[in-house]
Structure 1
Amino acid sequence: MDSRLSSLISEYLGAVAAAAILIEQSGFILPTRNMEWACNGMPHTGLLHGEISYRKHGYGCAVYLKTGVVDFDFGPLGEISGFDAWRLIEFSKDRLASFGFKNPKEIEESVKATISAGEITHFGKNLYCLNEKLS
């Protein structure tokens, strides 16, 4: 896998994990199915842990962490390990160079190549996950 993409995915998944912890610490239950999240009655906007803004949408959530915005969807079984090119681009758009990318198109091409190489797997709607842990 392209080392730039590996680094970006690792940082993105770390931010998603941090967002999930904030959701739980704020008294909300993480879903065991994505439909459960969509129908859980959680307000569509608000604050997590008293200070971090969020915007709930469909099967996911955008969480405005101090390090930047992370937008993610829960997978079919409530997984938080999913990503796609759009989410990676949105997550890194203000700091593409820090990941070694010149533009969003390079991220898209790297994701496509990684899919073609079988290093990531489609697992629901538009989400992909790593076949193995990042090194």
Structure 2
Amino acid sequence: MDQRLATLIDDYIALVCSAVRLLEQGGIGRPGSNTEWACNGIPGTGVLPGGVKYFKHGYGCAVHLKRGTVAFDFGETGQINGFDVWRLSRFAGGKLGQYGFRSEAELDACFKAEVAAGSLIYSGYILHNLRA
């Protein structure tokens, strides 16, 4: 696995975990599936503890934490470790260079190479996961 991509994925997943903990602290339970999330009836936008805003979308959520905004989707069984190149790019934002990527195109090429190498596994939906 390309170390630059591995670090970006680790940082992304860590922030997703923080966002999910904050959702739970705000009384929004973790769903058992992505469809359960989509149909849970919580407001589309809201404020979590500490004044942190969230935006619910389809199978996921965007949470505007102080460390940055993280957008994620819940997996088929509610897992939170999935990602795609778009989410990683948005997460990195202006800090893409700090991860060693000169451009979104370079990140995309690296992501595709890791998929082809089998380091990243397609989930059957739009997300990928690290090979266990």
Q: Same fold (TM over 0.5)?
A: yes
Distance 1:131 1:117 in 2: 10
Distance 1:124 1:19 in 2: 24
Give deviations 1:83-130, integer Å, cap 9, x for gaps. Answer: 000000000011011101111111111110010000111113110000
Write out the 4+ residue segments of structure 1 that deviate beyond 2 Å after TM superposition: none
Q: How does 1:111-122 map to 2 (within 5 A)?
A: 111-122=111-122
Gaps of 5+ in 2: none
Percent identity for Structure 1 against Structure 2: 48
Distance 1:28 1:55 in 2: 13
The residue that corresponds to 1:5 in the other structure is 5
The residue that corresponds to 1:16 in the other structure is 16
The residue that corresponds to 2:69 in the other structure is 69
Moved more, 102-111 or 9-18: 102-111
The residue that corresponds to 1:34 in the other structure is 34
**TM-score, with normalisation over the residues of structure 1?**
0.95
**TM-score, with normalisation over the residues of structure 2?**
0.97
Distance 1:28 1:65 in 2: 16
Specify the code of the residue in structure 2 equivalent to 1:77.
Answer: T
Quick check: 1:98 aligned with 2:104? no
Gaps of 5+ in 1: none
Distance 2:129 2:53 in 1: 26
Specify the code of the residue in structure 2 equivalent to 1:53.
Answer: K
Q: How well do the aligned residues superpose, as a CA RMSD in angstroms?
A: 0.8
Structure 2 residue matching 1:113: 3-state secondary structure: helix
Q: How does 1:51-62 map to 2 (within 5 A)?
A: 51-62=51-62
Specify the code of the residue in structure 2 equivalent to 1:100.
Answer: G
CA shift at 1:48, angstroms? 1.2
Structure 1 residue matching 2:123: 3-state secondary structure: strand
CA shift at 1:50, angstroms? 4.2
Q: Is the 8 A contact 1:76 1:124 kept in 2?
A: no
The residue that corresponds to 1:47 in the other structure is 47
Distance 2:23 2:93 in 1: 24
Q: Is the 8 A contact 1:32 1:77 kept in 2?
A: yes
